Structures are given as structure tokens and as C-alpha cells.
């Protein structure tokens, strides 16, 4: 954590992409519609493997400490994309020129410079190092991927993961599969029953988002292809193998529910061990129930909000409702599946009173065990415009957000990655759906007598 005395100066970028710290003006940060100086408890040195972006068509704005006024620069604004396991707590402040392009689908953190280093508004929320590749050369990863391509010429799914996800996109999950460690990705679906505004693999015609960072899967694998990858990964990652359906290069895996159920069943019936996880929009409760009975260990439910109106503005579901998402969680949890929420955190919206109360109600009534605090990758001005007309109170910040939820749901844990849980999760103190009852308040004898 940064010292409370740290006051980073703002960053600016010129037309050539050179980034400078301003000698006089201070970093400002944005949470929704609010502008302010960074809170002392949210500044941290920019993590290794993070990136800096210049923001075209957006003029940097800083605070003049002498006058207390904001100042608009001629130079471009700068943002940070924080390394995995870190959640951004604020966006940069800038003024957008007329006709400025929509920003690509990344997360944009407020970043400044002080005492010879960069500081970002973010928090580390997971100590797992599974997506840290420091000390592992790109050459080693590529050589391993090419060897696997040679060894599995007839497995289309393995070919896709190695050729596209590893060698072309540098996907961290795919790189881990090539290295034989941690979590193996298992994309299976070409289609989706949601039309997420920030979908990273496919945008509909006419979308304001002109480019996606990945291309969607173009075929449907067979159970044999899926299980072959699972066995291969378990043979190399022998301590804590995790297998995850639902990746960025595909649609919604539940649209291929029979394939998933058959793959999980075959792997388990053959004695396959490890944590089988599903990353999903959780739109089909019956399919979730069947997957749980086949041997699913964990479910990660993607959410931007537990308020149906906010959820639907972003996900734009087709053929399901937020009520189906809630029922899927209940079906999984009642069958012993560990359920996490992949919460797409957006400073200034997610950490408001209305959002917190809705999340607490969902967690208490359904038995969520883990909140994965992921950044919502989207233009910081575009997302609030989607939610116009919906009320949001003041931002409380990520730290207070976490404290509020933990007070109301003491069993909740926070993280960023899908945990290894063995074959079957130990759910500990997580309540069953509908069984949560808050502990009674302790009342002193004097208060009882006074009737307070």
C-alpha cells in the first residue's frame, strides 16, 4: 500500500505516444460521475506485467494544487491496465473531444507518477500467481505449444487452443495449458444466448465497439476431444488441476449443455480427478443441475449487478431472465457445488448503496461462497450511458464495498481466480439456499429492561 503522503502527479501523452508526468498538476480519478483525488488507501505501485495506454481523443485533466482548480491539457490522457489479480478502484479523468473513437475493450485505471515510480488506483485481491509469467520466456511457451500441436494432430480443440489462444493471442489460461500448470481452458461453444455489450469475442453489426480482442470458436468439439485435453492436463498438473469450461474465445457454454454433461461424466467415470469448473451466465437451471450430478465441482456466475434492470442493460439476455440466473445458483449450491460470482466491478457504480444491498440479498439467499473481483473491460464513459435513468448513490470505494459485504455475509471470501477445490468442494460455513439467518444482536440486561 502507498503511504498516505503520496500525491502522484498526472500523466500525459503526446501524439507520438511518449508518456510524461506533469511537473505541477496532480492525478485526479473518476468513480462514475465523481471526480476526486485518489483515496490514500487505494494507491499502489503499478504491478509488474501491467500496461500503460494513451487515450486518443481524450484530453488529460489534472488538479492544480495552488488554485484547487482542474486543468485541461492539450495532451492525451493516460490509463493503466493492471495485471491479473488486481482490481481497479478508479478511472482516469479526461475531457473527450467530439468525434473521439470508442475505447477498445480493456479496463482503464487512474495512474500517476511519484517518487520515481508509477502508482495506480487498484487493489490486489488474489495472491495466486497462476497468471504471472515472470521468468518464463515466450520462447519456452511457444516451443511447448508447437510440440503439443504436433502431438495432437487430430484434436481440433487442442489445435485451436494452442494455435489461436496461445500462439496468436497469448491467452494466460492457454499458456498455462501449454506449460502444464494450474487451470486448463476448455472452450466448447460457438453461440451465445446473451448479447453482452462488452463481449470480447463477438459484436453484432452496427455496434459502437468496432473491434474485439479475440475471435470466437468456429466448431463444436466432441466429448472425446474435451476429455483428451482434461486427461493430458491432469497428467502434467498432478497437484492442483483445474479444468474450466467457458472462455473468452467462445459463446455461452450452456448452449452446448449435452456436450458438457457427457464430457464431465466420462472424465469422472474414468477416475478423473481435479476441479471441474464452469464459467457461465448461468441461464439454464436444469442444465446446471445435470452438470452438478455429473461431477461439476464449481460454478462461476458472471454478473455486473444483482439488480435485474442493471443486469439486463449490459447482458441483454435472449430467452432467459435474471430469475433463471438466481435459480441456477440455487440448483448448483443445493447439489454441493461451490458457487462464485465473477463480479464485473466498475468504480462508481458497483460500489454504490443500491448495488451493494442487491448483492448482499443475492449472496444471503442463494449461498454464494466467493466473489471474484474482475474489472469490467469497457469504455469508462460508455458504460454509465447504458444505465441512464437508473439511480445510483455515492461511491463508497472498493475497500468499504468489501467490508460491507463481509459484515452482512461473513462466510464470503474474495479473489480473482477459480480456486482448486479438489474433486468435491468443502463449502464450510456457506449457508444453503434460503437458510441464512443473521445472528441475533446481543442485547444487554439494561437494554432489555428499558425496552430498547
Give whole-number Cα distances, 442 to 435, 449, 450, in Å. 21, 14, 15
Pairing of strands 183-186, 242-245: parallel
Tell me the domains of the chain and their CATH numbers: 9-124 (no CATH), 138-415 (3.20.20.70)
Give whole-number Cα distances, 451 to 413, 441, 443, in Å. 37, 14, 10
pLDDT, mean of residues 306-320: 96
Lowest mean pLDDT among 2-6, 101-105, 324-328: 2-6
pLDDT above 90 for 370: yes
Helices (H) and strands (E) in the chain, counts: 12, 19
DSSP state of 345: E
Element (H, E) at 407: helix 398-408
d(CA 83, CA 241): 23
d(CA 155, CA 166): 16
What pLDDT score was predicted for residue 432? Answer: 94
Residue 2 pLDDT level (bands cut at 50, 70, 90): low
Q: Which residues contact 194 (CB under 8 A, 6 or more apart)?
A: 252, 281, 283, 315, 316, 317, 318
Q: What percent of the chain has pLDDT over 70?
A: 93
pLDDT, mean of residues 224-231: 98
Mean pLDDT (the chain) is: 92
DSSP string, 131-200: T--TT--HHHHHHHHHHHHHH-TT-HHHHHIIIIIIIIT--HHHHHHHHT-SEEEE---S--SB--TT-S
Amino acid at each position: 500500500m502507498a503511504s498516505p503522503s503520496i500525491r502522484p502527479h498526472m500523466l500525459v501523452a503526446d501524439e507520438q505516444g511518449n508518456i510524461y508526468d506533469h511537473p505541477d498538476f496532480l492525478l485526479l480519478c473518476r468513480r462514475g460521475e465523481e471526480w476526486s483525488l485518489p483515496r490514500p488507501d487505494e494507491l499502489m505501485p503499478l504491478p509488474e506485467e501491467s500496461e500503460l495506454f494513451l487515450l486518443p481523443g481524450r484530453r488529460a485533466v489534472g488538479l492544480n494544487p495552488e488554485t484547487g482548480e482542474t486543468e485541461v491539457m492539450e495532451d492525451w490522457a493516460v490509463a493503466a491496465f493492471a495485471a491479473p489479480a488486481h482490481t481497479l478502484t478508479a478511472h482516469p479523468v479526461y475531457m473527450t473531444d467530439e468525434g473521439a473513437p470508442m475505447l477498445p475493450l480493456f479496463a482503464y485505471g487512474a495512474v500517476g507518477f511519484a517518487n520515481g515510480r508509477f502508482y495506480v488506483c487498484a487493489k490486489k485481491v488474489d495472491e495466486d500467481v497462476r497468471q504471472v509469467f515472470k521468468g518464463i520466456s515466450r520462447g519456452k511457451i511457444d516451443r511447448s505449444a508447437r510440440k503439443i500441436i504436433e502431438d495432437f494432430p487430430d484434436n481440433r480443440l487442442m489445435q485451436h487452443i494452442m494455435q489461436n489462444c496461445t500462439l496468436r493471442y497469448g491467452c494466460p489460461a492457454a499458456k498455462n495449458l501449454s506449460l502444464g500448470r494450474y487451470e486448463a481452458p476448455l472452450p466448447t461453444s460457438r453461440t451465445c444466448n446473451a448479447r453482452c455489450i462488452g463481449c470480447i469475442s463477438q459484436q453484432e453489426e452496427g455496434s459502437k465497439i468496432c473491434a474485439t480482442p479475440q475471435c470466437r470458436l468456429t466448431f463444436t468439439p466432441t466429448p472425446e476431444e474435451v476429455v483428451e485435453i482434461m486427461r493430458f492436463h491432469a497428467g502434467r498438473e498432478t497437484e492442483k488441476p483445474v479444468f474450466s469450461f467457458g472462455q473468452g474465445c467462445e459463446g455461452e457454454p450452456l448452449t452446448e449443455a449435452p456436450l458438457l454433461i457427457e464430457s464431465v461424466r466420462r472424465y469422472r467415470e474414468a477416475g478423473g480427478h481435479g476441479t471441474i469448473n464452469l464459467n457461465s451466465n448461468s441461464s439454464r437451471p436444469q442444465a446446471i443441475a445435470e452438470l452438478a450430478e455429473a461431477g461439476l465441482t464449481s460454478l462461476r456466475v458472471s454478473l455486473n449487478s444483482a439488480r435485474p434492470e442493471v443486469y439486463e442493460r449490459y447482458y441483454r439476455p435472449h430467452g432467459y431472465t435474471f430469475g433463471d440466473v438466481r435459480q441456477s445458483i440455487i440448483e448448483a449450491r443445493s447439489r454441493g457445488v461451490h458457487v462464485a460470482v465473477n463480479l464485473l466491478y466498475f468504480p462508481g457504480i458497483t460500489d454504490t448503496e443500491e448495488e451493494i444491498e442487491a448483492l448482499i440479498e443475492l449472496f444471503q439467499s442463494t449461498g454464494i461462497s466467493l466473489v471474484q473481483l474482475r474489472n469490467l473491460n469497457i469504455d469508462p464513459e460508455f458504460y454509465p450511458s447504458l444505465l441512464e435513468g437508473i439511480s445510483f448513490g455515492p461511491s463508497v470505494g472498493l475497500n468499504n464495498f468489501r467490508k460491507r459485504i463481509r459484515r452482512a455475509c461473513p462466510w464470503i471470501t474474495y479473489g480473482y481466480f477459480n480456486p482448486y477445490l479438489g474433486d468435491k468442494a468443502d463449502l464450510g460455513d456457506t449457508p444453503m439456499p434460503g437458510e441464512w439467518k443473521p445472528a441475533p444482536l446481543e442485547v444487554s440486561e439494561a437494554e432489555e429492561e428499558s425496552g430498547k
